[in-house]
Each structure stands twice: as structure tokens, then as C-alpha cells.
Structure 1
Amino acid sequence: MIPKIGLNYVPLHHSLLVEGGRLAEQLGFEGVWLGEHIITPFEDDSRYPGEKLPFTHDSPFLEPLVVLGALAVTTRRLRLGTGVLMAPVRDPFLTARELATVDALSDGRLDVGLGLGWSREEYAILGRDWHKRGKRMDEFVHVLRALFDPDVCEFHGELLDMPKMGFAPRSPQGLRPPLHLGGHTPRALQRAALLGDGWYGGSAAVKDAAQYVDTITRHRLDAGLSMEGYQFSVVLLHRPTRGELETLSAAGVHRAVITPWRRADGPAHPGEFDDLDPVRALAKEIGLGE
């Protein structure tokens, strides 16, 4: 048994994203995921939690929801994921409108990964308080849940306030898009357990996946929340062996989001690969096919 397999398409050149989405669907991958940085620092200040900073100051990041909107109308079954949006630096209401648009265009195929991010420079340039990022993340999630609930659509918090408002369209499936919350700190794991529909772990979490799954499960059960439908996902910045995927599945991970490309000196950079052969090779290695 292996987890569901998604693809991290951040390293794929923009000219191949639509073709790459169609190919992923044809080969039987579950979905395509795209993360973001809004502005990139010139130097790594060593706060990045992974093995090596996977971009430079001039790496070409695309806006994930714009790309997923294009994939929504050029695919039919492929799930479309954000892995992840940096929620605390975003406007929650504009983001909700973008999410609702992609979800409507895709007939309910959107997965929403949300995280704090790690770059203080991005928070500073976008006018967000680094020290209140956790609180803003909590309230951002509450706002999204309220907007997609026709019986609520109201929220009053410390940083965000929304009187009862109208919001449509909601998901064609009658459900809001699943919210997958990222992070590995004790507070982030608790947030993912209590406020999320799933957890989206970064590459640094792969070797300790079972520990994170157990911690989140314990938080949910202690709070009286069901584990039914809850999804554990991790992103891998390398092409794993089938044995590694089986280990993740045994640890309780439901979805592995794999990066088919890798540089010789570390993880792939955004938009630098214009070759879809690694996607085909990955499908063959793990037993997927048209």
C-alpha cells in the first residue's frame, strides 16, 4: 500500500503547467499542488526549516490560485492543491473569493493548504506583524470556515472582524474546500488538529511522520473530534522509492506530494525545469499509468 500521490509543480516552467496538469491526470496522479512566496529575500538568513533553501531571490514564483484556475478548466478529475498559501500575510476575504472561484471552476476539486511561512522579510514588506502570525493564522481559518458556512458567515476576533455577510458561490459539492494546515511546532500541530480538515507537512517532517500523525490524532481525540475524513499529507522534495512510500503509508500518511525534479546540489528551484519526462518516469516507478 502506498499513499495517494500528488505532484509538486512549483519547479515546472510556466509554459508546461497546463500540459503538465493534463499529463498528471492521464497518468493517474491524484492531484497537483503549488506553493507560494510573494516576495523573496536576497539572502538566506538560515530560518528556512528544510535541508537547503529551494529558491534564489530572483526565482520565478507564480500565483498559485491563478495557475490552479487554469488547471481547473483544462482537467476533469485532477485535484488542485495549494501547498501552501501563506495565510497570515494574505487578506482573508480576497483569498476566500479566489478559493471559491477555483473551487467553482473545478467542480469542487480544490484542496487548501495553509501555513505560516518562515521569512520575516515577507511579513515586514507586506505589513504583517511577525509576532502575531499564529493568532492571525487562527483567525484567518475561522474566517474561511465562517464564509463557507451559509448558517454562520460571521466572525468576531481580536485581529479580524466580520459582521454577518453574504458569500457565494460555495462549493458545487455543498462542502467547503478541505483545509490542510501546515507546521511542525507543538502549537502548529494543535492548530492543525483542532481547526483543520488535514495536516500538510513539509519535507523536514518525512522521517518523523508517524510522530506527527500520532500527536495530531491525540489532540483530536482529546477534543472529542472524529478522525473520519481527516487527511495527513507530506511534501517530498525528492523522488522516493516505493519502499519509502509504503513506510509513509504505514505511518498513517494519506497523501505524498512528490517533486519529480531535483538539482544535483539540492532541491529543485521554482520554474527551472521544462521537461515532463520525470513525471512519466515517476508514474512508471510507482505503478501508475494511463
Structure 2
Amino acid sequence: MRISTTIFLTDETITPVRLARELEARGFAGLYLPEHTHIPVERTTPYPQGGELPREYGRILDPFVALGQAAAVTERLGLGTGVTLIAERDPIALAKQIATLDHLSGGRFTLGVGYGWNREEAADHGVDWATRRELTHDRLALMRALWAPEPTAYEGEFGRSVRASQAWPKPVRGGAPRILLGGAAGPKLFARIVAEADGWMPIGGRGLTESLPVLREAWEAAGRDPKALQVVPYAVLPNAGKFAHFEGLGCDEAVLQLPPGDETEVLRVLDRYARFA
């Protein structure tokens, strides 16, 4: 099993360059970064984990800039987002960012896609909360049009379209980078995964014994290769039994949560986790 990591990188933590180098030196498989453009102070949305929203949420570095730095100082380390809030981004510009990062890193990028949880943040981007999922997939389809091998037009349902265009570079593997959808288990999410993604990125990995067979059944019913489905438990705390459980379920990658600490703290945790990598 490949062991990757995720962390809230901020202006107060270890730097992307130092972290990426240390991850690769210790044999970790990848680095996934979350995103929030901003956290409105006046908000009513509760923190999903309960209690006060941790300080790091309002200080997150832009994941694509940080991953670009990580790509430049590594050769093998996988690079990903966990997750990109596509509904809050301009899809034409985002398609270019993703394709460029994937090209410059030699195809090491994974696009984790999420729908978000902070209503106030989304509202500042002009997102109608009730249709954010549909908007996300509409914009993903527009990006796929720009990544297509031949100029391809796309007429969106939410007022964003693109003409058939020259748009290079392309994702290295062709068509799109690896795409994993985040979100809670359920028929709507699983239908989207089957139709539009390479797999699922469940937070924590709890309940996979029950939910994964349901996803596999939907995947195979759609005629997709059973061996191609990728399920990547995300933001997990490590122990050998947990990894054995994931591996027994057919997962070949898991993502460990690192603390949003300074260099000393993060490297100390990496040394402790290195035995799993």
C-alpha cells in the first residue's frame, strides 16, 4: 500500500519545499493539499467536526502554487488536492492550472474534487448552495472539453461555456488527470464517481466495509473495469491494523493527516510515520 500525506500548509507551517523534499526522502507516495480561498468571519455554517473552526482554515496556502513548488523539488512524489472546490473557481483558468501542473510534474497530479461545506465562503463566490454539486460537475465537464485532444466546445448549464479552442498543455495521461471525488457514501455520489471519476476519496475511511461493495456493484454495472476503481481513504490517523484493513478491501493508497505545525513538529511526526511508508 502506498502511503501519502495531507496537511493544512499555511504561512505559519513548514514550507511546501521543505516538506516535499522530506516526504520523498522518507519514501512517502504523495502530498495532497486542501483549499479554502477565505473564511468569512461572520458565518453561520458550523464546523463539520464540531467546536470552533481551527485557526489554519483561514490561513491555507493556495494548493496549486504550493504544489508547484513541491513539484519543482521532487521527482517521484505524487501531488494532489484534497479537495479542489471547483464551484468556487473559474473553470477555464483552473483547467490551465491543472494541465500545467500535471505537465510540469510529469503526470504526477491527482485532482481531488469536493463540494465544500462553508456556505458563506461559497456565497462570496456567487455559488447557489442548492445547486453547487451540479455546478461542480458542469464545470468539470467544461474542463474536460479543454483537455480533449482536439478542439472541443462546451455549452454549460450555468452560464459558462467555452468555444472549441487550442488549449495546451494537456494532462499527461490524456483526457484528464486522475480524478477522485470526495463526499459521504450514497447513491448520488456513487453515480457521479461511476460516470465521471477514477474513484472515491472518503474522509477517514470509516464504514468502507459496508459502502465499498455498493460502489463496486455500481461501478461494474456501468461496465467499468473492476480493477480500475481507486478508493483512497483520506486524512486518516495511522496504525498497522487500519492499513491492513484498507488493503484487504482493495485500497492501494491511504492518505495520512499531518499536523499544521512548524518544521520541527512536522518532521518529528514524519519520522514517527516513516515506518508505515
Give, as a single letter, the amino acid of the residue that structure 1 aligns with 2:18: E
The two structures have a TM-score, normalised by structure 1, of 0.85
Give, as a single letter, the amino acid of the residue that structure 2 aligns with 1:136: L
Whether the 8 Å CA contact 1:79–1:110 is kept in 2: the answer is: yes
What is the identity percentage for the equivalent residue pairs of Structure 1 and Structure 2?
29
Give the superposition deviation at 1:58. 6.8
* Cα-Cα RMSD: 2.2
* Corresponding residue for residue 171 of structure 1: 171
Q: Describe the superposition over 1:63-113 as per-residue Cα deviations: whole angstroms up to 9, x where unpaired.
A: 000000111111001010101011111111111111111112111111110
Query: Does 1:242 pair with 2:240?
Result: yes
Q: Distance in 2 between matches of 1:175 and 1:89?
A: 22
Query: Does 1:279 pair with 2:273?
Result: no
* Corresponding residue for residue 200 of structure 2: 199
Give, as a single letter, the amino acid of the residue that structure 2 aligns with 1:211: E
Whether the 8 Å CA contact 1:107–1:171 is kept in 2: the answer is: no
Q: What is the 5 A alignment of 1:19-168?
A: 19-42=18-41, 45=44, 47-50=46-49, 55-56=54-55, 59-151=58-150, 153-159=152-158, 160-168=160-168
* Corresponding residue for residue 256 of structure 2: 258
Whether the 8 Å CA contact 2:16–2:67 is kept in 1: the answer is: no
Q: Distance in 1 between matches of 2:61 and 2:218?
A: 35
The two structures have a TM-score, normalised by structure 2, of 0.89
- Unpaired runs of 5+ residues, structure 1, are 262-270
* Corresponding residue for residue 15 of structure 2: 16
Q: Describe the superposition over 1:35-77 as per-residue Cα deviations: whole angstroms up to 9, x where unpaired.
A: 1111114377464444666623874110000000111111001
* Count of residue pairs brought into register by the alignment: 272
Q: Match of 2:15, SS?
A: helix
Whether the 8 Å CA contact 2:203–2:236 is kept in 1: the answer is: no
Give the superposition deviation at 1:11. 5.0
- Shifted more, 250-259 versus 145-154: the winner is 145-154
* Corresponding residue for residue 209 of structure 1: 208
Give the superposition deviation at 1:179. 0.9
Q: Distance in 2 between matches of 1:50 and 1:213?
A: 23
Give the superposition deviation at 1:127. 1.1
Q: Distance in 2 between matches of 1:273 and 1:242?
A: 26
Q: Match of 2:137, SS?
A: helix
Q: Distance in 2 between matches of 1:242 and 1:273?
A: 26
Give, as a single letter, the amino acid of the residue that structure 2 aligns with 1:145: R
Q: Distance in 1 between matches of 2:258 and 2:208?
A: 20
- Unpaired runs of 5+ residues, structure 2, are none
Give, as a single letter, the amino acid of the residue that structure 2 aligns with 1:230: L
Give, as a single letter, the amino acid of the residue that structure 2 aligns with 1:283: A
Give the superposition deviation at 1:169. 0.4
